[in-house]
Structure 1
Amino acid sequence: MDIRVFLLAISAITVGLVELVVGGILPVIAEDLQVSIATAGQLITIFALVYAIAGPVLLSLTAKIERKKLYLVTLSVFFLGNVFTYFSTTFAMMMTARILTAASAALVIVLSLTITARISKPHVRAKALGYIYMGISSSLVLGVPIGIVITNAFGWRTVFLGIAILTIGTLLLISKFFDKIPTGDVQPLREQLKALANKKIVFAHLATMFMLAGHYSVYAYFTPFLETTMNLSSSSISVFYFLFGIAAVAGGAFGGGLATRIGSQKSILIILGAFSISLFVLPYSTFSMPVFIIVMMIWGALSWALAPAQQDYIIQTDPVSSDIHQSFNNSALQVGIALGSGVGGIAFSHTGSVTSMPAVGGFIVIIAFVCAAISLSMAVHKKKKNNTAAQHVSERTH
């Protein structure tokens, strides 16, 4: 594997840390900035919203800028955003810093994906994308416990100072090991937006959104689920989160490897089907600790296994507009996280039982499976239509 792919994965880890790390240290931030925890929670919401919108918009606006230069400039803005966060003394300053880091993080991630797709050979592209998603998933699932440990030892501001320092290291590595990366064929913004009319891609984005929505309808409430079903203490729960995180990190690499071996289209359906089953089985595995850990880690691995195959499928389906579609798929992921958390909260308030959450998530993932199947069936139909047309041309020629 090209060493540059691993450097981009490291960059993805660095910028990914800043999103959910706030969740684990929210009470400390709220107390320091003298706001309620509910108000401080808006720091997560605003990040997700800006991230979802900024990715595709900034990618379009910067389409003519050489990729390495753009990457380094964006990382520099991300660095400044974290420094601003470190020095924030009011909630308004903190919100401004979150907007800055969200927009720059979104562009860094989508550039990491598009550059990886461009520098990787087609037969290992899905696997290479898997490493990027392994970086993203590791930052999202492991950032929370790491942030808590650092906050308890040195204070919450040190978390963002540490991310800023990591960003400097990433800047130096990218600057040293990457040559100039041309923009490639640049489409006007109007044409890129027209690409969103591609129904196959739209259903692929919906599959990503509903898959993450199903996942986060359970994962967002995993702590009360563990407390209720397994009677775990807070220290034991942190161990389970760590195990889940390891599985999720491995899942990105597993999904990329599977897509490389059997193809992206088959992988998408297999992963979504298995993921739905794992959610339905989860509450029935709590009778035994070892069984539950196995099911939980399968669930964790599958939660990030779809992304590499999905990205590779999008590139194959519409290579000309693949950059903008990868950006929108990443935005769909963020919308799915927000949607899942909301749906999970509504379901919990109506049922009053956390044991019902996995079934809710499982049904949402079934919707994702249907969306993926529709997208794939359209792709197969178009391929058959093109083959038929080519056959008719051949017959007329002879």
Structure 2
Amino acid sequence: MDFRVFLLAVSAITVGLVELVVGGILPVVADDLNVSIATAGQLITVFALVYAIAGPVLLSLTAKVERKKLYLIALGVFFIGNVLTYFSPSFGLMMAARVLTAASAALVIVLSLTITARLVEPKYRAKALGYIYMGISSSLVLGVPIGIVVTNAFGWRSVFLGIAILTIGSILLIAKFLETIPTGEVQPLSAQIKALANKKIFFAHLATMFMLAGHYTVYAYFTPFLETTMQLSPYWISVFYFLFGLAAVGGGAFGGGLASRLGSKKSILVILGAFAVSLFALPYSTFSIPLFIVFMMVWGALSWALAPAQQDYIITSDPVSSDIHQSFNNSALQVGIALGSGVGGMVFSQTGSVTSMPAVGGGIVIIAFISAVISLSMSAERSRSHQEQTTSG
């Protein structure tokens, strides 16, 4: 695999750490900034919303900027955002810094995906994208425990100082090893917005969104699920999170490899179907810790396995608008995270129980499966139509 892909994956890890790292240290942050935990929680919500919107918008506004230069600028802004977070004396300034880091992180991630797609040959594209998503998933999954450990040792502000230092390393590596990358074919903003009218890819975005929504319906409340169903202590819960994280980190690479072997279209259906089954089966494995660990790690691996195949499918379906669609798909992922967390909260408040969440999550993933089937059927129909026109011509 091209060495530059791994550099882009490292950058994805660096910027990905900043999103959910606040989740594990909310009480400490809230106490230091003299706000409630609920108010401090808005640091996560606002980040996700800005991230989802900023990716497509910034990609459109910077369409004519050479890609390496733009990547370095985005990393520079991300560095400034983390330094501001470190020195923030108030909640308001920290919120402003989070907006800055969210917007720049969204651009770095989508550029990592689009640049990777250009660096490698089409037959290796899904696998290469898998490495980028392995970086994204590892940062999202491991960011919380890393934040807790660093905060306990050095204080919560040092978390963001550490991310700023890592960002400097990414800037130096990208500046040295990544060559100048032209913008390619540039579409006007109006044409890029109209790209959403492509129903085939629109349903692909829905598949991404609903899969992540189904996942976070359960994952956002995984701690109370483990406490309620298996009576696990905090120590064992942290162990389970670590095992889940290991599986999730490998999920991106697994999904990329599967797409390379089976093709992106078959992989999308296989992964979504297996993911729904894993969620439905999860509550029935709690009677045995070893069995539950197996089911949990399958669930964890599949949770990030869809992305490489989905991105490859989007690129091949609409090559001209692939950059903007990769950004939209990344935004759909963020919306899915927010939607799933909200649905999980509603289920918990209505039922007072976490045991029904896997079934609800599995049901949402079925919607994702149906969305994928609709998208793929449109793809097959267009292919047949093109063949008929070629034959008749």
TM-score bracket, normalised by the shorter chain, equals: over 0.9
Q: Does 1:362 align with 2:343?
A: no
Counterpart-to-counterpart distance in 1, 2:220 and 2:229:
16
Specify the alignment match of 1:294 in structure 2: 294
Q: Which residue of 2 aligns with 1:108?
A: 108
Alignment partner of 1:219 is 2:219: yes
Cα separation, 2, equivalents of 1:46 and 1:192: 25
* Structure-2 residue corresponding to 1:5: 5
What whole-Å deviation, never above 9, does each CA across 1:30-65 have from its counterpart, x for those lacking one?
A: 000000000000000000000000000000000000
Give the letter aligned to residue 234 of structure 2: S
In structure 2, C-alpha distance between the alignment counterparts of 1:179 and 1:278, rounded to whole Å: 43
Equivalent residue runs for 1:174-189 within 5 Å = 174-189=174-189
Cα deviation, residue 235, structure 1: 1.4
Residue aligned with 1:355, SS: coil
Q: Distance in 2 between matches of 1:26 and 1:331?
A: 24
Q: Distance in 2 between matches of 1:297 and 1:78?
A: 32
What do residues 318-347 of structure 1 show as CA deviations (whole Å, max 9, x unaligned)?
Answer: 000000000000000000000000011111
Task: Give 1:352 shift.
Answer: 1.4
Letter in structure 1 aligned against 2:284: Y
Q: Mapping of 1:46-61 within 5 angstroms? A: 46-61=46-61
Mean Cα deviation higher: 188-197 or 367-376: 188-197
Q: Mapping of 1:1-398 within 5 angstroms?
A: 1-393=1-393
Q: What is the number of equivalent residue pairs in this alignment?
A: 393
State the Cα distance separating 1:374 from its structure 2 match: 0.2
Q: Deviations over 1:120-157 (max 9, x none)?
A: 10000000000000000000000100100000000000
Q: Structure 1: which 5+ residue stretches go unaligned?
A: 394-398
Secondary structure, counterpart of 1:320 in structure 2:
coil
Q: Distance in 2 between matches of 1:77 and 1:85?
A: 12
- 1:182-229 deviation per Cα after TM superposition (whole angstroms, max 9, x unaligned): 000001111111111000000000000000000000000000000011
Tell me how far apart the structure 1 counterparts of residues 195 and 389 of structure 2 sit (CA, whole Å): 23
Output the amino acid matched with 1:322: S
Q: CA RMSD in A?
A: 0.4
CA displacement at 1:230 relative to structure 2: 1.1
Alignment partners' CA distance in 2, 1:64 and 1:251:
34
* Letter matched to residue 7 of structure 1: L
The one-letter amino acid of 1:281's match is A
Which residue identity is paired with 2:291? V
| Cα distance in 1 between the residues matched to 2:208 and 2:100 | 25
Structure 1 stretches of 4+ moved >6 Å: none
Per the TM alignment, residue 370 of structure 1 is displaced from its structure 2 partner at its CA by: 0.1
CA separation in 1, counterparts of 2:208 and 2:46?
21
Q: SS state of the match for residue 64, structure 1?
A: coil
User: 1: distance between equivalents of 2:151 and 2:144?
Assistant: 10
SS of structure 2 residue aligned to 1:25:
helix
- SS of corresponding position for 1:268: helix
**Counterpart secondary structure, 1:63:** coil
1:259 aligned counterpart, secondary structure: helix
For residues 254 and 351 of structure 1, what CA distance do their matches in structure 2 show? 36
Give the match's secondary structure for 1:172. Answer: helix
CA distance in 1, matches of 2:195, 2:229: 46
Shift of 1:351: 1.5
Pairwise CA distance, 1:236:
1.1
Sequence identity percentage: 80
> What SS class does the counterpart of residue 185 from structure 1 fall into?
coil
Amino acid at match of 2:105: A
